[in-house]
Amino acid sequence: MKFGGTSVEDAAAVERVVGIVRAALEQRPVVVVSAMARVTDALLAAAARAGQDDAAGALADLDAVLARYRDAARRLLPDADRKRYQQTITATRAELAADLARVPRDPAAPDAVAAQGERLSAALVAAALAARAVPAREVDARRCILTDTRPGKAEPLIPETDVATRAALQPLIAAGTVPVLGGYMGATPEGVTTTLGRGGSDYSAALVGAALGAEEIQIWTDVSGVLTADPKVAPAARTITRLSFAEASELAYFGARVLHPKTILPAIRHGIPVRIRNSRAPDDAGTLVTAESEVVPRTVKAIAYKTGVSIVSVTSTRMLGAYGFLRALFEVFERQEAAPGRPNLPASTGAPARVVFSSHLDTVPPYIPAREDKEFLHGRGAYHLHRGRRDAGHAGDRGADLRDDPRHQRVADLARCVAHQHHVRGR
């Protein structure tokens, strides 16, 4: 059972979580929680500020975050438990101070900062459950989710994660205790804290569920399942009662925010159904995602869209009829650690080779990983880019200036590297 940020955003939300978990005790649940809503954004912003040599200011910015957890504990916990949780908050602030101070020199430090929201949520929810006679214990998710060392978007080491998760959680489940873990985070085999990327708490829950062979993975959020469209755009959107793994993956890829795209992968691997439910309306059935889908009378089951997308268009007459063109382009994306969308390929073999990539900003790291690209951009960059154009055909999203978001500039850097390496025209 994974509860998202809005499902644990304050004391009232945590009370609802306690009720939902208590009602499911016969099913021997494992609970995975996100940070409170907007907390991860604040932590990442603090890490960015610390990277500008202002660790003291970054720590001061986070006092409001810690106050939210302190206030929730005051409303949820009896005196003795509240004092223990206050000690946790005090220790967390000390850890944040140390981690923020090392951000400028340690690429792993921002992950340690970003993971603190989930850690505080897990401790709070476990204490709230125990205070209401629900046997629960906080488990450090870094003991369960083992990953590689990639900053900000670590990849789980699946065999190691399966073994570690079973070792940490199965004895508690057998004893009738509810394990409570923070999502989003993991650790390298050496114990260095990592994170799975934005929205990674869903992925954490799926990894845990797959390792334990769960009957069902439940994602509890603030909407009653996957809807036919974004309700902010289409108020008449309805809940889809059933989706296939393939359909859910497509919707997640194209921007549906209810599910993290990688959530589906462990479920597919083990054939475990995923159910999306509403913590504010727990009686709603939500959406069930399984291997097979039901046939609907209408042609279109749902509509999803993306915002914050940058476009890279590459055209080459030299590569006309040559093999290896796409491979060479994807190598640049790989070096840049940017995940491109599906390329649009030319319809005619007689035209110059032209490929259009879209890259969502959340997949673009805020740095230049490859040394050869960094040296080129800093030393010999002569590639001309039309800045600030409000045309979706350029490296910027529709209606947004490139200078509004540094990640747009990173996509522009990527386009420069493509053009330089392959002597092609790109934008």
Closest to 217 (Cα-Cα) out of 260, 264, 167? 264
User: From its phi and psi, is residue 176 left (phi > 0), alpha (psi between -120 and 50) or beta?
Assistant: left
Q: Is residue 298 part of a domain?
A: no
| Domain-embedded: residue 41 | yes
Question: What digits encode the pLDDT tens for the residues 98-139?
Answer: 999 999 999 999 999 999 999 999 999 999 999 999 999 999
186 shares its domain with 64: yes
Predicted confidence (pLDDT) at residue 332 exceeds the cutoff of 70: yes
Residue 340 lies in a domain: yes
Residue-number span of the structural domain to which 63 is assigned: 2-214
Question: Is residue 67 in a domain?
Answer: yes
Q: Does 186 share its domain with 332?
A: no
As for how many domains the chain has, the answer is 2
Q: Residue 220 falls within a domain, yes or no?
A: no
d(CA 318, CA 337): 26
Instruction: State whether 195 and 324 are in the same domain.
Output: no
DSSP string spanning 92-149? HHHHHHHHHHTTTT-TTHHHHHHTHHHHHHHHHHHHHHHHTT--EEEE-GGGT-BB--
Of the candidates 190, 214, 238, which is a domain's last residue? Answer: 214
What is the pTM for the complete model shown? 0.79
Shared domain for 208 and 344, answered yes or no, is: no
User: Are residues 205 and 80 located together in one domain of the fold?
Assistant: yes
Q: How confident is the model over 182-231, as pLDDT tens digits?
A: 999 999 999 999 999 877 899 999 999 999 999 999 999 998 999 998 88
Same domain flag for 74 and 206: yes
Max Cα separation, the chain? 76
Length of the chain in terms of residues written: 427
What's the CATH code of the domain at 158? 3.40.1160.10
Residue 195 pairs in a beta bridge with 185
| CA dist., res. 372 & res. 369, Å (int) | 9
Q: Is residue 415 part of a domain?
A: yes
CB atoms near residue 237 (< 10 Å)? 17
Residue 8 maps to a domain: yes
Domain boundary among 214, 231, 258: 214
**For the chain, what percent of residues have pLDDT higher than 70?**
72
Let me know whether 65 and 181 are in one domain. yes
Residue 199: per-residue pLDDT? 76
Shared domain check, 207 and 317: no
Of the three residues 159, 179, 214, the one that is the final residue of a domain is 214
Among the listed ranges 12-26, 44-58, 332-346, which one has the minimum average pLDDT value?
Answer: 332-346
116-131 helix and 39-50 helix, angle to the nearest 10 degrees: 140
Q: What is the pLDDT of residues 239-288, one digit of tens each?
A: 999 998 888 888 877 777 677 767 778 988 898 999 999 999 999 999 99
The answer to whether residue 369 sits within a structural domain is: yes
Q: Give the pLDDT mean for 147-155.
A: 93
